[in-house]
């Protein structure tokens, strides 16, 4: 969903976001899906901008991990 929202290949921006989240010190072994989702949004904003982080957030909302009023 993120790759479609960003009109690119999954290994470009989305891959860097996921890798950045997976290697982030804030990610704990017992993280919930919601915590991981929030971390990917933060990483997207740090790596790129609000537009990209909004796409990531929208994708998490679409799959039911986050709700509209979160993050």
Instruction: Decide: pTM greater than 0.85.
Output: yes
Tell me: the pLDDT tens digits for 25-68? 999 999 999 999 999 999 999 999 999 999 999 999 999 999 98
Instruction: Indicate if the pLDDT at residue 14 is higher than 80.
Output: yes
Listed in order, strand segments (DSSP E) in 1-71 are none
Alpha-carbon span 24 to 63, nearest angstrom = 23
The SS3 assignment for 65 reads coil
Domain boundaries, the chain: 2-62
Q: Which CATH class is domain 2-62?
A: mainly alpha
Under the banding of pLDDT at 50, 70 and 90, the label for residue 70 is: low
Alpha-carbon span 56 to 52, nearest angstrom = 6
CA angle 53, 57, 58 (to 5 degrees): 115
């Amino acid at each position: 969903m993120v790759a479609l929202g960003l009109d690119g290949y999954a290994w470009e921006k989305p891959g860097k976001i996921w890798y950045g989240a997976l290697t982030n010190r804030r990610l704990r072994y017992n993280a919930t899906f919601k915590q991981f989702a929030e971390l990917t949004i933060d990483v997207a904003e740090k790596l790129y901008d609000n537009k990209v982080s909004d796409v990531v957030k929208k994708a998490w909302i679409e799959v039911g991990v986050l709700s509209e009023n979160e993050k």
